[in-house]
Chains A and B, each alone.
Chain A
């Protein structure tokens, strides 16, 4: 491919990319995510996916007992085992994040913020 033709292709695709930058406007909504732990410490129902809107107020609640910190990656927020078991945050970072037990590395939820 000649330089010029290659350039033309790149310019074309870059142009298409530039035209499509619009984000949907952030919707303010509220979401409640409940992490219920069974007697053996595992998450009831197993690993699952949750989606919330960008900008939403998220309340994450730990029910049942676990002796580990719950870590929300990306946001780098923690729910301590000895605390009230509730975490509130605004979902302002878009992406897909892992929520896991910090010590064992056990994945709990894949949280999609979009």
Chain B
């Protein structure tokens, strides 16, 4: 770890400590969780996952299809057209505006998290909502991302003043995703381990420190910084690679096979740790709903909870990462290649699992607690406003039945598992002959099954 990163983390913690005294009832997120899945449904999902894995590995295909389909696809829209550029200008303006509203509400709105928009906006609509949107509909966030807009505008102004061309994005910023790993971990720690996460002022401090790191980094390192250090954008881009919708190098919006984009994710250091941190954090979030966690930390409040949650987050993330590296070592034994190389090549095939975990854990949160957004948009700062006449909206908790939620969870885990196995098999087929490809995948298959079982186990909420 560099000195600068130490400094960054120290600043972050100091900032959080400043507002840490605000008491708040933050436990997990939202105060409501789903009913445990019935055992027969778990068995069904696990059986489906295992059986389909073997079918996928053995019989489905012996030619790389996803890797081959990465660049093609039917053109939906030529985004170079002036009209589209106009729309992009509009979305970017909206992005900056909404970011401003969020900052304003967090810093100057009602300090009570139960009436301020900041917590719901950040956690539900931004974090959970955009993960689901990204893997379904592609990299929508790039149209709104205020950091990119600010960094690009800054670069443009700087180039104007100096009377020279702005440096190409690729030549600026960090050459790895490690800053993004630190950024996303900072957010996940804030959301899942820090005890005062729903206090608007805590959110304000977090967002300010995060934004200073993004904009400051862009000033020093160039605008490539916001593309590779912004943990949120990096995650959404990775999830979007699964989506059938993508934008090719010429700026055309095209439709391709789902998962095909995973092989095109930039292969730069930090990619795999990034995915594992996200996967580990969702696993931890599920784990905090188990009776094991209830026994360990159920009665804790304040900093005591922060400390045990931080340890829990690190341990669970470590275990998830360890399972992956054991599988990769075993694979390296079979194919006689370097583990590091294999880890980089197969890492992106974990993205579908991360997407599945996100759906399984947060789908009901989005459609149920997420309705609170209708109330909040009428009164973002909690000042008794009613801008759109929706301030008295009451959440309809019965909009999806427990049975529907349970099926969404089960199917997400099962389909995510199959997608992960399929993507990994496809990569293997593009590298090895059929026999070795299948053989090389047994360790990976084992780890995928482990993640699936783990994911399902967490849904038991036992």
Closest chain A CB from B413 CB (angstroms):
11
Decide if A80 is an interface residue (CB 8 Å cutoff): no
Place the interface of chain A in its size category. Answer: 35 or more
**Chain B interface residues toward A at CB < 8 A:** 23-28, 30-36, 48, 52, 56, 60-61, 65-66, 195, 257-258, 289, 291, 294, 298-299, 301-302, 305, 364, 397-398, 401-404, 407, 411, 414-415, 418, 422, 461
Contact in complex: B291, A49 (CB < 8 Å): yes
Q: Are B422 and A95 in contact (CB-based, < 8 A)?
A: no
Q: A74-B397, A105-B27, A105-B301 are in contact. Are A114 and B402 (CB under 8 A)?
A: yes
Residue among A2, A42, A106 facing the most chain B CB atoms (10 A cut-off): A106
Contact A107 B411 (CB under 8 A): no
**Cβ-based interface call for A36 (8 A):** no
Not counting A5-B60, A21-B404, A103-B25, a sample of 11 additional A-B residue pairs whose C-beta atoms are within 8 angstroms of each other reads A6-B257, A46-B298, A74-B397, A93-B397, A95-B364, A95-B402, A96-B35, A96-B36, A98-B32, A103-B23, A112-B35
Contact B403–A21 (Cβ < 8 Å): yes
CB-CB under 8 A from A107, the residues of chain B are 27, 298-299
Q: How far is the CA of A107 from the CA of B301 in the complex (A)?
A: 8
User: A96 and B32: CB pair below 8 A?
Assistant: yes
Any B CB within 8 A of the CB of A40: no
Q: Give min CB distance, A72 to chain B, whole Å.
A: 9
- Could you say which of B24, B32, B302, B418 contacts A74, with CB atoms under 8 Å apart? B32
When the two chains form the complex, which single residue of A92, A94, A102 contacts B35, counting CB atoms closer than 8 Å?
A: A94
Which residue from chain A places its CB closest to the CB of B60 in the assembled complex?
A1
A3 to B: closest C-beta gap in Å = 7
* Residue in chain B with minimal CB distance to A6: B258
A73 touches B23 (CB 8 A): no
Known pairs A93-B398, A112-B35; A71 contacts B422 (CB<8 A): no
Residue in B24, B61, B411 whose beta carbon sits within 8 Å of that of A105 in the complex: B24
Given contacts A23-B403, A49-B291, A74-B397, contact A13 B415 (CB under 8 A): yes
* Nearest chain B CB to A2 CB, angstrom units: 7
The minimal Cβ–Cβ distance linking B272 to chain A, given in whole angstroms, is: 24
Q: How far is the CA of A97 from the CA of B461 in the complex (A)?
A: 13
Chain A 77-106 per-residue mask, 1 if CB under 8 angstroms from chain B, else 0: 000000000000000111111101111111
Check: A110 CB closer than 8 A to any chain B CB: yes
A83 to B19, CA, bound (A): 32
Q: Which of B56, B65, B403, B461 has the most CB of A within 10 A?
A: B403
A20 within 8 A of B: yes
Residues of chain B lying within 8 A (CB to CB) of residue A100: 25, 27, 31
Interface pair B61/A96, CB less than 8 Å apart? no
- A103 to B24 alpha-carbon distance, docked (Å): 6
Cβ < 8 Å to B, chain A residues 33-55: 42, 46-47, 49
What are 14 pairs between A and B in contact, CB < 8 Å?
A5-B60, A6-B257, A9-B52, A17-B407, A17-B411, A46-B299, A47-B299, A49-B294, A73-B30, A93-B398, A94-B35, A96-B33, A106-B299, A107-B298
For B36, what are the chain A residues with a Cβ–Cβ distance below 8 Å? Answer: 96, 112
In the assembled complex, the CB of A14 is this many whole angstroms from the nearest CB of chain B, namely 8
Chain B residues contacting A47 (CB-CB under 8 Å) are 294, 298-299
Q: Are B257 and A3 in contact (CB under 8 A)?
A: yes
Q: B residues within 8 A CB of A46?
A: 298-299
Which A residues lie within 8 Å of B404 (CB)? 17, 21
Min C-beta distance of A66 to chain B, whole Å: 14
- C-alpha gap A2/B61 in the complex (Å): 9
Whether A1 and B35, one on each chain, are in contact in the complex, defined by CB atoms closer than 8 angstroms, is no
B301 to A106, Cβ gap below 8 A? yes
Residue among B401, B402, B415 having the largest count of chain A Cβ atoms under 10 Å:
B402
Q: Beyond A47-B299, A71-B25, is A95–B403 a contact (Cβ under 8 Å)?
A: no
- CB of A12 to closest CB in B, whole Å: 10
Do residues B407 and A20 form an inter-chain contact, with CB atoms below 8 A? yes
Taken together as a complex, chains A and B put the C-alpha atoms of A113 and B291 apart, in Å, by 17
Q: Among the interface residues A2, A10, A42, A98, which one has the most CB atoms of the partner chain B within 10 A? A: A98
